[in-house]
């Protein structure tokens, strides 16, 4: 297969020009304040109200961070800062809806861009399913604290959990002998958020700003109320799980930081994106980190860390010091926080679909803009339906890990994209340029530490991940040496050598991915295989970079359905891990055959970009 089909890119000028098309353009109304609040709304949510507890206490499969959860937050924040700087440079230079998808299209090629766009569904839509389910649980708790009543269990429970809970099944009404079980509050909150987003993004931003203000005040209340009850003895020992506990805690609470990149998906609706987007991304990340560290310090100071392995650690900590009134307010704050997260993630996903459709990789109906509200109403409604349906019936505990790996993968490719564009287009104006500082001591420490750690672990997958980090550290050390040498000789530091922070972002993301189990990696590859299969059958043939659409090769008329049947059969019948590996191989093989045939049909030539279709 020729490289043209896989790595054809869309230039930055072309991306910007197409976005100015009135029919497929969005209304610019957002300021840097709106974007900062948007980022805070996305970041502060399920993580600080729930995941902090399990990250601190640990479980049978991983050590707890203990009081060192404070360090875990700092480690994760540093890793996110490197990626945030890359997002900020891209968003200021390419202020177009689509986030990492658009950036990859401009640098790494169309196929990689499609994979990123498909991958981001995990972060936004699938991640939102878990948030909606958690929102319903906290909403039920608020009802219990305020009016002393709760919603019947069969209306706030997913099907899998209900079938394993006899009390819920016995309470549920039946239809044709089957219990009727669904998570109704999750469906209703998704429907409300979808309606708000269809009306208009500025109205959505005002709605979000109010909720962000409420939950910040509630977290401040937690810190103020709990501060005078902090017991220094609770901080000893500070590292009960050692550094492995800190790393495990960082891998879990990464979910707490997911969301700052959602700011870049609204770039096309920002008044001055070249200035406002970097301020929004970095400002929201900084504010959230300060809040997280303060809350974590008070949390582990007022209650023994071994008692935090629960779903509502903040409320439980306040109850521990007999501040039940504050615990009820914090539960209400959790509902507000998760509503804000739902809003921002539900804002981001449709705009990625919108960009992919505008590029021809999805049917053009997904690029329709509401004639009155100037919002991508079709993709917003379909995203809402997708999230609501799965939130009603699905149990998605394992999806949190899938969300983390998908987001980290997107961060890696964004960091790589900055390096590529610095090399291929060094003279392009960059309103925000990622700063450069030689990280040679850090690279040297990693190079010294990695070999011993890699040989000490028996797991092959972990050794591979260590090996990748080691290679990145070698490249970073080389960049530092080149940059320092140029400075000593009073010469300009090469553009590529100034991207050390990009390498640091890649290394830190891989380090966090290392903490995820192998089954998560296979599920992630399966998701990518499904996405590549769809791209090969539709997107690769309808791309606007082609002079005209290409018909489906005759061979695929029977090979594609056969592949789907075989993939489903092997997934259903074979045990793990074969039941995950074989479908991935089948879908990847069929996809590459289709891409080869399509590239042959094109004769390897891209031709001029197609007119809008």
508 pLDDT higher than 80:
yes
Whole-number Å distance between alpha carbons of 327 and 323: 6
Q: Would you call the peptide bond into 237 cis, given omega within 30 degrees of 0 as the criterion?
A: yes
Whole-number Å distance between alpha carbons of 428 and 274: 13
22 pLDDT higher than 50:
no
Q: Region 370-383: what's the mean pLDDT?
A: 80
pLDDT band per the 50, 70, 90 thresholds, residue 613: very low
Nearest to 311 by CA among 291, 330, 285: 330
Q: What is the DSSP string of 214-249?
A: HHHHHHHHHHHHHHTT--GGGGSSS-TTHHHHHHHH
Whole-number Å distance between alpha carbons of 256 and 47: 4
Residue with tokens 């029919």: 23
Residue with tokens 């790595």: 7
Nearest to 351 by CA among 255, 257, 264: 264
Q: Name the least confident of 2-6, 116-120, 340-344, 442-446.
A: 2-6
Whole-number Å distance between alpha carbons of 422 and 399: 35
Does residue 391 contact residue 399 with C-beta atoms inside 8 Å? no
With H, G, I as helix, E, B as strand and everything else as coil, classify residue 181: coil
Q: Name the least confident of 45-59, 179-193, 589-603.
A: 45-59
The reported pLDDT for the residue numbered 2 is: 43
Query: Which two three-digit tokens encode residue 511?
Result: 């380090």
Question: Quick one: three-class SS letters along 270-337?
Answer: ECCHHHHHHHHHHHHHHHHHHHHHHHHHHHHHHCCHHHCCCCCHHHHHHHHCCCHHHHHHHHHHHHHH
Work out the angle at residue 133's Cα, subtended by the Cα atoms of residues 131 and 136, and round it to the nearest 5 degrees.
110
Helix ranges, 20-68 (H): 32-43, 46, 52-57
Question: Quick one: three-class SS letters along 420-443?
Answer: HHHHHCCCCCCCCCCCCCCCHHHH
pLDDT digits (tens, 9 = 90+) for 583-595: 999 999 999 999 8
Query: Where does 102-260 show beta strands of DSSP type E?
Result: 174-175, 178-179
Query: Which two three-digit tokens encode residue 364?
Result: 């053009």
Domains and CATH numbers, the chain: 28-405 (1.20.1740.10), 517-613 (no CATH)
Query: Which two three-digit tokens encode residue 399?
Result: 């999806």
Does residue 81 contact residue 260 with C-beta atoms inside 8 Å? no
Nearest to 447 by CA among 412, 473, 423: 473
Mean pLDDT of the chain: 80
Express as a percent the part of the chain with pLDDT over 70.
Answer: 87
Whole-number Å distance between alpha carbons of 67 and 229: 16
Q: Region 3-17: what's the mean pLDDT?
A: 60
pLDDT digits (tens, 9 = 90+) for 56-78: 887 766 778 889 999 999 888 88
pTM of the model: 0.80
Q: Region 131-155: what's the mean pLDDT?
A: 80
Query: Which two three-digit tokens encode residue 43?
Result: 């970041």
With H, G, I as helix, E, B as strand and everything else as coil, classify residue 552: coil
pLDDT digits (tens, 9 = 90+) for 312-350: 788 888 888 888 788 888 888 888 777 877 877 777 777
pLDDT band per the 50, 70, 90 thresholds, residue 478: very high
The reported pLDDT for the residue numbered 16 is: 60
C-alpha distances (whole Å) from 326 to each of 140, 218, 291, 469 are 17, 9, 18, 45
Whole-number Å distance between alpha carbons of 438 and 418: 17
Residue with tokens 């939950």: 215
Whole-number Å distance between alpha carbons of 324 and 316: 9
């Amino acid at each position: 297969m020729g490289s043209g089909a896989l790595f054809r890119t869309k230039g930055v000028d072309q991306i910007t020009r197409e976005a100015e098309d009135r029919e497929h353009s969005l209304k610019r109304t957002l300021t840097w304040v709106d974007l900062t609040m948007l980022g805070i709304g996305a970041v502060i949510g399920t993580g600080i109200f729930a995941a902090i507890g399990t990250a601190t206490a640990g479980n049978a499969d991983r050590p707890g961070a203990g009081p060192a959860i404070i360090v875990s937050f700092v480690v994760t924040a540093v890793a996110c800062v490197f990626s945030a700087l890359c997002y900020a440079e891209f968003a200021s230079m390419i202020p177009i809806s689509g986030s990492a998808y658009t950036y990859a299209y401009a640098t790494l090629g169309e196929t990689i861009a499609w994979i990123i766009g498909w991958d981001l569904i995990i972060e936004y839509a699938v991640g939102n399913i878990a948030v909606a389910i958690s929102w319903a649980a906290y909403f039920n708790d608020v009802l219990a604290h305020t009016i002393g009543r709760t919603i019947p269990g069969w209306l706030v429970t997913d099907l899998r959990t209900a079938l394993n809970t006899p009390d819920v099944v016995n309470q549920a009404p039946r239809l044709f002998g089957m219990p009727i079980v669904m998570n109704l509050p999750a469906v209703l909150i998704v429907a409300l958020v979808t309606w708000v987003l269809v009306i208009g993004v500025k109205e959505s931003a005002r709605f979000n700003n109010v909720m962000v203000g409420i939950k910040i005040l509630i977290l401040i209340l937690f810190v103020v109320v709990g501060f005078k009850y902090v017991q220094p003895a609770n901080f000893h020992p500070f590292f009960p799980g050692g550094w492995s506990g800190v790393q495990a805690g960082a891998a879990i609470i990464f979910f707490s930081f997911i969301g700052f990149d959602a700011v870049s998906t609204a770039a096309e609706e920002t008044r001055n994106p070249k200035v406002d987007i970097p301020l929004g991304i970095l400002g929201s990340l900084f504010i959230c980190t300060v809040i997280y560290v303060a809350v974590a310090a008070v949390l582990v100071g007022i209650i023994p860390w071994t008692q935090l392995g629960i779903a509502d650690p903040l409320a439980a900590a306040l109850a521990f010091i007999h501040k039940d009134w504050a615990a009820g307010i914090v539960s209400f704050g959790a509902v507000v926080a998760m509503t804000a997260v739902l809003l921002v993630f539900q804002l981001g996903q449709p705009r990625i679909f919108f960009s992919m459709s505008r590029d021809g990789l999805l049917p053009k109906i997904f690029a329709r803009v509401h004639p009155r509200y100037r919002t991508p109403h079709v993709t917003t409604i379909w995203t809402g339906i997708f999230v609501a349906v799965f939130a009603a019936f699905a149990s998605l505990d394992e999806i949190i890990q899938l969300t983390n790996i998908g987001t980290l993968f997107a961060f890696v490719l964004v960091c790589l994209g900055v390096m590529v564009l610095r090399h291929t287009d060094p003279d392009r104006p960059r309103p925000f340029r990622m700063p450069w500082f030689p990280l040679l001591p850090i690279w040297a420490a990693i190079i010294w530490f990695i070999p011993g750690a890699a040989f000490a672990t028996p797991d092959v997958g972990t050794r591979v991940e260590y090996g990748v980090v080691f290679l990145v550290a070698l490249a970073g050390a080389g960049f530092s040496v080149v940059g320092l040498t140029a400075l000593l000789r009073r010469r300009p530091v090469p553009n590529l050598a100034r991207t050390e922070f990009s390498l640091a972002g890649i290394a830190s993301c891989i380090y966090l991915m290392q903490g995820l189990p192998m089954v998560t990696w296979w599920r992630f590859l399966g998701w990518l295989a499904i996405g590549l299969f769809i791209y090969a059958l539709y997107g690769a043939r309808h791309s606007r970079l082609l002079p005209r659409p290409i018909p489906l090769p005759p061979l695929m008329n029977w090979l594609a359905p056969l592949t789907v049947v075989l993939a489903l059969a092997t997934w259903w019948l074979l045990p793990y891990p074969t039941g995950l590996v074989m479908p991935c191989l089948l879908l990847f093989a069929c996809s590459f055959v289709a891409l080869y045939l399509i590239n042959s049909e094109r004769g390897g030539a891209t031709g001029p970009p197609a007119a809008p279709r």
